[in-house]
Structures are given as C-alpha cells and as structure tokens.
Amino acid sequence: MNNIMIENVRILDPVNGKDETGTIYIRNQRFSEPFAKDKDTIVIDGTGMTAVPGLIDLHVHLRDPGQTEKEDILTGCRAAAAGGVTQLAAMPNTVPTIDSPETVRYILEKAKNADAKVHIVGSVTKGLQGHEATDIKALREAGISALSDDGRPVLDTSILAAAMKTAASAEINIPILAHCEDPYLAGGKVNEGNISETLHVKGMPCAAEDAGTAREIALAEAYGLPIHICHVSTATSAAMIRDAKKRGVPVTAETAPHYLMLTEQELLKRDADYRMNPPLRTEKDRQAMIQALCDGTIDAIATDHAPHTPQEKADFVNAPNGSIGMETSFAASYTVLVEGGYLSEAELIRKMSCNPANILRVDGGTLNIGEPADLMLYRKENWVVDPDRLHGKSRNTPFKGLTLSARVRLTVYHGRIVFDDR
C-alpha cells in the first residue's frame, strides 16, 4: 500500500486543538511522522481544503442481509466514503435480524473489503419483537459493537434494564442505542398537527417519542447505567435530556441532519422521501435541535441512513419510513450550523467524529500520529444535491435540489483513498 502525503492543507483536529496549515503524512495505513517522499508516494495538493478526522455515523441501515435491492454492505460503505464517513454503526433490522452469531459473522466477512469500518449493532430482543432477550455474550464474542432494537423500542422494560446492566459490564462494555417511542401512541405517518390535518393523514404525536425518552432516562437514572438516545426530534425530548444531564444521568443523544434543516412543511409536497420516523417536526422543534447541539445536550449528529427503492417510495401514504443521508450529512450540517453561525467547524467535527467515537467506544476522531489513517478533506463551496449522482443504491434523499455549502472531496480509510472527487 502506498504512502500518502497531503501538502498545503488546513489541518483541523479538535481533540488536540490543532488548526494550522501543513502536511499530513500517512505510512503503513497510519498517521506518521514526516518522511521523505519517493517514487511510490502519493502526493496530494490540499490547497484550499480542510483535513479532519473521518466521520463516524452512529446510525445506519445497510439492509444487508435480506434487502439488498435497497442497499448492501459494499454500496452502503461506498456512499459513506463519498460523505467522508469512515466508520459506521449498522443497525440490526435486517432480514434476518442481527440476533445470532451467524448473522454477525456474515456481515463481518462481507465488510472486510468495504470502504468504511462497519460496527455491527446486535438486537436486544430476538427478531426485534421486544419480548425475548438475545444472547448478548454470544453476540459480543461474535463481534458486535453495540446493542439496539432500532426500528422499534424494546417493548419489555425489564429486558431493556437487564440488557443495560449486561452491556455496561466489564466483560461486554458496549453501548445501548435506544429508539425511543411509545408504540401505543405511535403509528402515524407524519407529525401530528396542522400538517397532518391538512393532508388528511394520520399523525404521530411528539408524545410518542417523549414518552419513550422519559422511560430510557428513568432507567439510566435508576440504575446509574449509560443509555444513548437515537434520532432526537422534539423540543420536549431535548429538554428532558438536558435536565437529565444536569442531574448527572449517564445519557448521550444524537439528532439527524434532516431535523436540523427541514420541517413538516416539506410534507405538503406529498413526497414520501420526506417521511421518516421520527417524522419531520415543527420549526420550534428544529430550533430546539440546533440549540441542544450548541449547548451540549445533544452530543452527536447521525444520519439514520435508511435506503428504499423508488417503487416503495412512490406511494406517499403507504411508503416505508426513512431517507438516505450519509453522502449529505456533513454538507447539510455544515450549511445549517457553521454557515448559520451556530457552531464552529471544530465544534461540528466534534459532533460528527470525536463524540461518536467516544459513544461507540472505538478508536478515531483524531489525526494523532500512530492512529489509523482515517480522514476527510472538504472544501467550502456551493453545490446542488442531485439524487442521480449519489453513490449508494437508493435515491430517497430529502435534500434533493437543495444547495449546500461544503463538499467532501477526498476520503481516506485506513490509509487507503476510498473516495476522490478533487
């Protein structure tokens, strides 16, 4: 494998407080001390670009095994690379569910040659049915990195509490990523309110998410065990997480770029690409997500990347929930948060790389010498999102046609150039 030198590049490493122009050296797949170039060294001119640690996406649906017409491990990681994502957490609502060592081994084998590191999220309950616990120890030994029943909540609270205790043990030591939802309140297609009434479509109240968030916080506080709250979308859930953190509850949280940039008004287009779960909310909720990121209530930005075929998304009411997001996550977040004056570039990278590494308990999030060489180069420039030019299998992006103000130009994963659009 070739050594790489990236010259004249702005180096932004929030963990080390570094923001300077210089050269990045990569040797033997790791960040290196300076070395002399030879005929086999790949030399990249980084003029006008910024180098940051590779992004880490805590929330991705790769659809593999079982629904590979939508996405598969290799195409999903190709899309990740195009978005500067070098590590991702693959959720368990595959077919079959990631509830057995055999399925874990299948994913690990297929991901060996992928363009990003796949961290496998095993299910808390068998088949995501919420009633029968999986063998967490066996799943961990097979190679999972986290636990979740994402796509639905863990219905049996006692099973979730037991899983939290097991996951936090020294032997297992992995996070639980919680999909917070009260199933008895959920089931709507869009946010409940004026828009759902205008569309004559069943709405999903904020209370469905808020009740689930309250339950998970209560467990974390009662037992003193960590929990990570997925895809926060409501002002009330953000307020509860903020309050819990002030009390010292070991809770972390993520939101998604679409909750930062879009609102339920998009649903008036009757386009199912804007339907996801949780649904797009109000402008008040959107502003609350931005504030929660700014004050540290929400720790991370993750995509909830959820590919679907055009045929599935053709029916506005009956289409499955979900939108793709890895290729646009950094650009959309930069546009809203950095261009909007809410976060600095360093603070944004903390939310998309450094903090996710800590939550997932993996290496990454820095450009330290000796660390695996995962990085992204981006340029501040305007571009329009064209679904037909994206790199995954699916096209269901809610950012289509929007002008974003930063663009990923190069991604290096473990010392290998996996995306180059200079």
Show which residues are catalytic.
304
Which residues are 229's β-sheet partners? 178, 253
Distance, CA of 333 to CA of 38 (rounded, Å): 38
For residue 397 the two structure tokens come to: 């992006």
Burial 324-359 (b: 16+ CB within 10 A, else e): bbbbbbbbbbbbbbbeeeebebbbbbbbbbbbbbbb
For residue 285 the two structure tokens come to: 């909720």
How do strand 4-13 and strand 42-45 relate by DSSP bridges? parallel
Burial 263-283 (b: 16+ CB within 10 A, else e): bbebbeeebbbbbbbbbbbbe
For residue 287 the two structure tokens come to: 């502003």
For the chain, the first-to-last Cα distance in angstroms comes to 21
Which residues are 4's β-sheet partners? 26, 42
Q: Order of strands across the sheet with 55-60?
A: 55-60, 85-90, 117-122, 146-147
CA 385 to chain centroid, in Å, comes to 19
